[in-house]
Structure 1
Amino acid sequence: MRSRPLSIAFIVRDPLPPRRADVLTLFGAEMPRHGVHTELVGQAGVDAPAPWSAGGMHVVGSLGSRFAAVCSPFWDLLGLLRAWRRTRPGCIQVRDKVASAVLAWLAARCLGLPFVYWMSFPIVEGYEVRRDALAGRGRNPLWLAHALRARISRLAIYRLVLPRADHVFVQSEAMRAWLAGQGVARLRMTAVPMGVDVDLFDRGAIAPSTDPRLDGRRVVLYLGSVAQSRRSDFLLEVVQLLRARAPEVLLVIAGDAPSPDEMAWMRREIAGRGLDKHVLLTGWLPQRAALGYAVRAEAGLSPIPRGPLFDVSSPTKLVEYLALGIPSVANDIPDQAQVIAQSGAGLCVPMQAQAFAEATLRLLADPALAARLGARGPGWVRAHRSYGILARKVAQAYGDICPPCGPIR
């Protein structure tokens, strides 16, 4: 435990109340056990207001507003002021925001507080990918707007925010190495990969789905969102190869898409390939229902496209499969390769349809191998990727960032 409690003002990009586990579980449930409380600041989403027992929640503005992109930095500054009035924070932290990070850094310096940046995604590179996608349609005003945003954001993050931050939390060791190559001091960075709530993902406490469409099928699972940017149609290429040698195979895609257009695209792809009898696209499900489908699976798939956006990521789905004891096939982005190598709970192959299909067929054809791999997952996750373990690492970092708050005991 911490000798004295610490309160941090935390500006987040995602809508409030939070739904992401690395905010909801890590900061909402685990960090208070180490004496670290959080004043969340951000904009409202579509969910109904919910209490935040780990500190306070200051919702200013709405992400549904047409002015959100312009107003959110000033809304965040107002929320930060409210957090300051409620409880004097020991530091100010910003997650994945650019203009808000600049204003928050200035506020931290005026108040004499440490400033922390939490990078869960290379947001600047994301802007540049969007800019380049629009370039193919000609240099129009929309392209120019995205090009300016990308350029200004790069200057703000890499010239101002990261070099002057007292500490930077990153998503993975690969992201830490990448930022070190851009001049950010390694000693000022802490890698916090995605984890799981091991109680929630306790297989023994999950009721298997009774969906009759799963009966008599060789169920393979993809747990996560559907998106063209994630090359979700790759899964369909794998299924086309699988059904030739395992006609009873059924891929369950337990997840939703970020927009109705993306979901419609996926349904068209399934129908166009004649895979309606081999792919079950559930759409959004309550988490317990999704996990009910998951524990019916014989193998879990985690293909993540290679490239600057995802090579530094830390995907949740692979760790979730391991926590549930599901033997997995994952491709070789750095974090997934490390998880497979350390846990021995799955097979790591390149993101090629033939390679994924062969690895999946190997698991389906060898139940003894699948059982050995699956049995290694839960213990490894409890020891390395539970949010209880990750919370202690984060709390120790705050002990160094905010030494007056006392050491971790």
Structure 2
Amino acid sequence: MALPPDFTLLQVIPELETGGAEQTTIDVARAVVEAGGKALVASRGGRMAARLEAEGGRLAAMPVQSKNPLVILGNAARLAQLIRREKVSLVHARSRAPAFSALWAAQATNTPFVATYHGVYKARSRVKRWYNSVMTRGDLVIANSDYTRAHVLAAHRVDPGKVVAIPRGIDLDRFDISAVTPGRLERLRQSWGLVAGDPRTHFLLAGRLTRIKGHLTIIEAAARIKARGREDFVIVFAGDDQGRTGYGEELTQAIGRAGLADRIRIVGHCDDMPAAYRLADIAILPTTVPESFGRAAVEPQAMGRPVIASAHGGTVETVADGVSGWLVAPGDPDAWAAAMVRAIDIGGERRGEMGRSGMNRVRQLYRVDAMCAATLDAYARVLAARHGRDEVP
């Protein structure tokens, strides 16, 4: 189903710094532009704003990251003005706090409203459940995995026909082995302080420096591997602390206490993730709480690298245990140590076979063009339903 020729999309997301939701925002904006429409993103902005504009989208800078009720009300007015001025066809919210502003603005202007559930939000109180439910009050809810869709249906009284699962997609032009030149690898190797030809097995944990990403589990697992007399591994933590300097210092201290300063490196934000995965032998995703999708488990598979991931959430869908990687009990250092040793000991040839299996799987299931096509089709169906021509799937 095609979008109307004058289609204008407004996506609303707190920031454009880093992360899966932010990348998906840019991917969909590009797809709308390629389809002949206009793509606006209301956000505080961030390092990915330049990429948005390079893809043909436009940033509408406003403080939608704020949870202050007065700012949220002000954002609703600003968004309504933007919707009227730009003749926005559909509003797509990608986070809860700005979803309130976006929903109110969409209602005030009689504009279709869609929201994506990018995470599995906790709700220990009635107030929090109400807060989370803002994502379900529009025309359609997009869940980024089957796991997330099941959660939405279990947590909210919503018509199953209004909740569709569209897995995140990976840009296979960007995550393409043949596009990663030796020069890119060498620049990144030098910036990380790695040595060419180091025979040790390299593990990469890519993700923000937050407790839920499981860095401490890996430090404990590494200490157990070291206690067995193993010297044949290096672990890289690549990710931004986003101002959480206390947690970064905690990790540094834990590494020092375990005597692992020569085995674990904290290298900060990385702009060249395709090269990062190629520098590694194995990617690890030891999240302590379920990831709704887990882009950091799919991207390395696209680059031919096997993945060790926590056996919960969306990664149970994206990692084929024993085929493209391994699924391990979350938060269990002994289980993680055993899995990492197994990954080292099977050798490069077997890891290469698993990497190729992962590449094939990603190309079949998680292409960004398929994700964008499904999203634009969902938009078209919402617009058609508003005009009584069809039903939302």
2:11 partner amino acid:
F
| SS of the residue 2:314 aligns to | helix
CA contact (8 A) 2:239 2:268 kept: yes
Give, in angstroms, the shift of residue 377 of structure 1: 1.7
Gaps of 5+ in 2: none
Is 2:258 the partner of 1:273?
yes
Once the two structures are superposed, residues 11-32 of structure 1 have per-residue CA deviations (whole angstroms, 9 ceiling, x without a partner) of 22225899921112x2232333
Match of 1:172 among 117, 141, 145: 145
Give, in angstroms, the shift of residue 55 of structure 1: 4.4
With over 3 angstroms needed to count, the CA separation of the structure-2 counterparts of 1:44 and 1:17, relative to structure 1, is farther
Query: What CA distance in whole angstroms lies between the structure 2 residues aligned with 1:205 and 1:54?
Result: 23
1:231 partner amino acid:
G
User: Which residues in structure 2 correspond to 1:342-361 (within 5 Å)?
Assistant: 344-351=323-330, 352-361=332-341
1:196 partner amino acid:
I
Q: Which residue of 2 aligns with 1:184?
A: 158
With over 3 angstroms needed to count, the CA separation of the structure-2 counterparts of 1:293 and 1:395, relative to structure 1, is closer
Q: Which residue of 2 aligns with 1:399?
A: 380
| SS of the residue 1:73 aligns to | helix
Give, in angstroms, the shift of residue 324 of structure 1: 0.9
Query: What CA distance in whole angstroms lies between the structure 2 residues aligned with 1:2 and 1:179?
Result: 28
2:130 partner amino acid:
L
User: Which residues in structure 2 correspond to 1:53-92 (within 5 Å)?
Assistant: 54-61=56-63, 69-92=68-91
With over 3 angstroms needed to count, the CA separation of the structure-2 counterparts of 1:17 and 1:122, relative to structure 1, is closer
| SS of the residue 1:242 aligns to | helix
Match of 1:317 among 269, 293, 296: 296
Query: What CA distance in whole angstroms lies between the structure 1 residues aligned with 2:34 and 2:254?
Result: 47
Q: Which residue of 2 aligns with 1:379?
A: 360
Query: What CA distance in whole angstroms lies between the structure 2 residues aligned with 1:91 and 1:397?
Result: 11
Calculate the TM-score normalised by the size of structure 1: 0.80
Is 2:197 the partner of 1:217?
no
Q: Which residue of 2 aligns with 1:141?
A: none
Q: Which residue of 2 aligns with 1:132?
A: none
Calculate the TM-score normalised by the size of structure 2: 0.83
Once the two structures are superposed, residues 320-349 of structure 1 have per-residue CA deviations (whole angstroms, 9 ceiling, x without a partner) of 110110111112113111122399311112
Give, in angstroms, the shift of residue 234 of structure 1: 0.6
Number of paired residues? 371
Query: What CA distance in whole angstroms lies between the structure 1 residues aligned with 2:103 and 2:13?
Result: 14
What is the percentage of aligned positions where both structures have the same residue?
19
| SS of the residue 2:261 aligns to | coil
Gaps of 5+ in 1: 129-149
Query: What CA distance in whole angstroms lies between the structure 2 residues aligned with 1:156 and 1:366?
Result: 47
| SS of the residue 2:29 aligns to | helix
Is 2:186 the partner of 1:202?
no
Once the two structures are superposed, residues 56-107 of structure 1 have per-residue CA deviations (whole angstroms, 9 ceiling, x without a partner) of 32212485xxx76344313422432342243212222222124x43443343
Q: RMSD over aligned Cα, in angstroms?
A: 3.0
Once the two structures are superposed, residues 152-202 of structure 1 have per-residue CA deviations (whole angstroms, 9 ceiling, x without a partner) of 4432443xx355321011232112112212322221112233332211111
Is 2:309 the partner of 1:330?
yes
Match of 2:217 among 234, 239, 246: 234
Give, in angstroms, the shift of residue 2 of structure 1: 2.7
Is 2:269 the partner of 1:284?
yes
Query: What CA distance in whole angstroms lies between the structure 1 residues aligned with 2:230 and 2:143?
Result: 41
| SS of the residue 1:282 aligns to | strand
Query: What CA distance in whole angstroms lies between the structure 2 residues aligned with 1:248 and 1:114?
Result: 56
| SS of the residue 2:337 aligns to | helix
User: Which residues in structure 2 correspond to 1:138-177 (within 5 Å)?
Assistant: 152-158=127-133, 161-162=134-135, 164-177=137-150
| SS of the residue 1:41 aligns to | strand
Query: What CA distance in whole angstroms lies between the structure 2 residues aligned with 1:317 and 1:17?
Result: 12
Query: What CA distance in whole angstroms lies between the structure 1 residues aligned with 2:324 and 2:208?
Result: 23
